[in-house]
Structure formats: C-alpha cells, structure tokens
Amino acid sequence: MTTKVERLFKSGRRRVLKVMPPGYAMLTNPQIGSIDEPVAYSITDNEDHTRIDPLYGQPGQPGEEPTILKPGEEHLIRLRMKHGTQAIRITHEK
C-alpha cells in the first residue's frame, strides 16, 4: 500500500509530487491563508489507510476531523496560494 500525492493543473496535466511508502508522513507546503481555513495538511500513510489532517496557520487553532482514505479512495484538497489555488489529489493505492 502506498499514498500518491499529485498536483492537478487546469490544463488537465498531472504531476506526481510524492509516492509515500507505509509509515511515511509529509506536510503540504503551507501558504498564507485566513485563520478560518486550513492552510496546510499533514498526510500520513498508515499501511491500510491514509490520514489527512488539516493544519492551521495560527498556533493553538483547533483542527478539523482528519480525513481517512481506504484503499482505492482519493481525496481532493485545494491549497490557497498567494496567486490563486493549487489542487492536490491524494490517493491511497492498493
């Protein structure tokens, strides 16, 4: 089992940012955003599932519930960047 993290472009092109082995964790690049919206995500591959935790720009901010992906499931997040948004697709592969 692995977790694949891809960046999606408006043109339909995709770029694989990372293929994560079990037990590996990564942090999406945090950018300036509003306090009421997650500006970064922690992504962890846990062998049988992928855990996505929203993180906030302000220390001590309460986090939302994590998203748990089972094998074959995918999740799309949009990171707010200084010049628009960036779409990231996270897939837990069998």
Distance from CA of residue 4 to its chain's centroid? 10
Please indicate whether residue 54 or residue 3 has the higher confidence score (pLDDT): 3
pLDDT band at residue 75 under the 50/70/90 scheme: very high
Burial 41-77 (b: 16+ CB within 10 A, else e): bebbbbeebbbbbbebeeeeeeeeeebebeeeeebeb
Q: Which domain holds residue 46?
A: 2-93
Given a cut of 80, is residue 77 above it in pLDDT? yes
In the chain the beta strands, taken as DSSP E runs, fall at 2-8, 14-20, 25-27, 40-45, 50-55, 67-69, 74-81, 84-93
Q: What is the pLDDT of residue 37?
A: 58
Angstrom CA distances, 40 to 5, 9, 11, 54, 80, stand at: 14, 19, 24, 6, 9
Given a cut of 70, is residue 15 above it in pLDDT? yes
pLDDT tens digit string along 20-74? Answer: 988 888 887 655 555 555 667 889 999 899 999 887 655 555 557 889 999 999 9
Domain count for the chain, please give it. 1
